[in-house]
Amino acid sequence: MANRFVLNTISYHGSGAIQEIPGEITRRGFKKAFVCSDPDLVKFGVTSKVTDLLDAAGIPWSLYSKIKPNPTIKNVQDGVAAFKESGADMIVTIGGGSSMDTAKAIGIIVENPEFADVVSLEGVADTKKHATFTIAVPTTAGTAAEVTINYVITDEDRKVKMVMVDKNSLAKISVNDPELMLTMPKSLTAATGMDALTHAIESMVTPGAYAVTEVLAAGAIELIREYLPKAVENGTDLDARDKMVNAIFLGGMAFNNAGLGYVHSMAHQLGAVYHLPHGVCCAMLLPIVEAENAKFAPERFRKVAKALGLAVTADVSDQACADYTVEEIKRLSKVVGIPTSLNELGIKEEEFDYDYLSKNAMIDACAPGNPFTPTLEETIAMYKKLFQ
């Protein structure tokens, strides 16, 4: 059996890494950049840290920032129109998952206009051409969208997050500069960091995991366990930010090639219907889903537990490893301030559409990566635990 490993062409890491962007553009002969970034990053001057470099290098650029936290079909279609109007020949996307996912969809459709409806990209689309040349610059340590073949766009009519899996969407270059993350608020640092932890754990538990992805994911878990609390506590701790940048890169490469699971399947639905932060949804669901996964595949938690700090010896049972994993996830969530119940987020259980969310979770693109296939009743039962 052959294991596929997909990764981008070049990744830069470390303080000042954004200085490499102008050179990567000019040496390839591109003439104008289409900058895709969210409005808050523009407002607070994060985007300008990159565009100032473009200005200094004499590289023209135009800005597109009509992006929602959970980007929509309209965001993408408006972006495609803006790209065509701009005269740009490449994309620089600056931001978290929302900016990068929007840029991925724009780049795919520009080169594959037959998918202009966006909806037809859901799942594994048969695109023929690689997306427009893109440099991805993350400003959060969590989504790993800059190094993965996945992206997520919300269909507001159906209230569904569409997961797209397409190797042609992969950014050619990622630039991971921790200095861009120094002003990220505690809540966002915590949420994106727990998203990164979810990526790493799910990529180890999934049946798609293999030796290479397991080592990458374990490395990510070790870094997150140690450095996420430090990054949350002190946002200007550059070393902690740098270590989290490394963690998302490792975890991103792991799940990019091993896959994810039911935590993401369920989290996508909460984001689509209730517009909740994706990382918070993942963090709340992670111990719930993994406790169920452990009933079917407890042996998959031995390496996870070790990465989370347990001294795993021969006399430590698989179930003990799974139990430790679940409790350590809960502990870390509490340390970084993740809510423990949907009630805390203003969601009322009497208004919660268990049936709709559960049915959509079951057909989510991430669902097949889970160690077992939950039934409708089992999915509903897991959602119910979010109110306990």
Q: For residue 2, is pLDDT > 90? A: no
Domain end: 120, 146, 181, which one? 181
SS3 assignment, position 310: coil
Q: Could you give the number of structural domains in the chain? A: 2
Q: Is 185 exposed, middle or buried (0-12, 13-18, 19+ CB in 10 A)?
A: exposed
Q: What is the pLDDT of residues 240-249, one digit of tens each?
A: 999 999 999 9
Strand partners, 35: 63, 92
| 70 and 169 part of one domain | yes
Stretch 163-170: mean pLDDT, rounded? 96
For residues 76 and 111, membership in a common domain is answered with: yes
**Res. 267 pLDDT band, cuts 50 70 90:** very high
CATH number of the structural domain spanning residue 48: 3.40.50.1970
Model pLDDT for residues 268-304, shown as the tens digit of each residue: 999 999 999 999 999 999 999 999 999 999 999 999 9
Beta bridge partners, 93, equal: 36, 136
Output the six-digit token pair for 64.
Answer: 């597109």
Residue-wise pLDDT for 35-83, tens only, equals: 999 999 999 999 999 999 999 999 999 999 999 888 999 999 999 999 9
- Please choose, from the candidates 72, 92, 89, the residue with its C-alpha nearest in 3D space to the C-alpha of residue 156: 72
Q: How far from the centroid of its chain's Cα atoms is residue 9's Cα? A: 19
Question: Is there a single domain that holds both residue 299 and residue 329?
Answer: yes
Q: Indicate the residue among 160, 181, 202 that finishes a domain.
A: 181
Evaluate whether residue 2 is within a structural domain: no
Per DSSP, the three-state class of 7 is coil
Mean pLDDT across 142-147: 92
Burial of 251 (0-12, 13-18, 19+ CB in 10 A): buried
Report which of 51, 121, 123, 47 is spatially closest to residue 88, judged by C-alpha positions: 51
Q: Which of 181, 200, 233 is the last residue of a domain?
A: 181
Residue type, 250: L
State yes or no: pLDDT of 307 exceeds 90: yes
Q: Say if 1 falls within a structural domain.
A: no
- Tell whether 75 and 176 lie within a shared domain: yes
Range of the domain at 86: 10-181
CATH of the domain at 235: 1.20.1090.10
156 lies in a domain? yes
What residue type is assigned to position 334 of the chain?
K
Q: What is the average pLDDT across 352-366? A: 97
Quote the pLDDT of residue 129.
98
